[in-house]
Structure formats: structure tokens, C-alpha cells
Amino acid sequence: MGLDMPNSSTAFVPDESNTRLLRDAFGRFATGVTIVTANTPEGVVAITANSFSSVSLTPPMVLWSPDRNSRRFPYFDAAEHYAIHVLATEQSDLCWQVAKDVYGLRSMDLAKNAEGVPVLENCLARFECTRKAVYDGGDHTIVLGTVNRAEMREEGDALAFFKGQIGQFTGS
């Protein structure tokens, strides 16, 4: 018994003329959705990111990768401390609010952690981090962080990103 497999695909060698194809291919990998927050002299800033991954349990480390060409990049490039929030399905409006506006959280009364980083409540998980290292990642920067504190909800479904769309992943 065979699997029903689609019979069409697009093969290409990535170059500057076909970055849209490469972006679309990257988009075939379903990810969770996060909001990263930091405190600046101008107040809370936030960015929606799907480039998040766990790295190490001992010591506890995570990474994420902001786009160097983003207007938000200077805030996060300068941030020694930041928080990564894994969003739940019911937080899709918050996801879009931050995606549209770096200052999208300013109207919210957010608690701050010990390092002064604004933190969101009711996320599936939150990782409060200190920047450990930064690496060149082409048009992105790879930010490696040590997890100082973590928090997670026991229940809830994940907000997911796939092919440029958000949806949900329901766990059992």
C-alpha cells in the first residue's frame, strides 16, 4: 500500500533572483509563533518571530534570529535581556498587533521581570533570557540566550505558522 504523494514540485538553486521561492520553501516548515520583548529607553518593544529553537538543557539555552533589515533590529541587537513568549491559539490578535507595530504592546499594563523586561501573561511558555552570544546569519543575526527563568501553561493549543499563514496545532 503506497502513500498518495503529490506529483509536482519545484527544484531550484537559491540565488538573489529567486529569494521568494526560497522563502516559500522555508515556509513549508511549520513552526510555533513567538513574541520577543525587550525594554528600551523608549519603553517596551516587541517583535513577532518564528525563528526560535531550544538549544541546550545544561546550561539552559535558546536561540532566535531577528532580521538585520528590520526597523526593529537595532532594539533587539542592543538588548542584553529579553523574553521569548510562545503564543497560544487565542493570542492570534496579539501576534498580528505586534507584527504590525513595534510599539504594539505599549497600551498594555505589563509586568516586568527582575531585569526590567516586559513580560506577557497566559502564553504557552515564556523564556526570560540574557544574551550569551550573537552570530552572523546572513541577513539575520543568530542570538543565543541563557534562560534565566521559564514558565509554562499546563493546557492550551499552539499558535502555528505555515506557508505564511497562522493557524493552530492541537495537542492531545
Q: What is the DSSP string of the chain?
A: ---------------GGGHHHHHHHHTTS-EE-EEEEEEETTEEEEEEE--EEEEETTTTEEEE--BTTSTTHHHHHH-SEEEEEEPBGGGHHHHHHHHH-TTTTTTS--EE-TTS-EE-SS-SEEEEEEEEEEEEETTEEEEEEEEEEEEE-SS-PEEEEETTEEEEE---
Residue 12 counted as domain residue: no
How many structural domains compose the chain? 1
Domain containing 89: what range? 31-154
118-172 pLDDT tens trace = 999 999 999 999 999 999 999 999 999 999 999 999 999 989 887 777 777 676 5
What's residue 14's pLDDT? 82
Residue 114 counted as domain residue: yes
Residue 95 counted as domain residue: yes
Residue 24 counted as domain residue: no
Residue 105 counted as domain residue: yes
Residue 108 counted as domain residue: yes
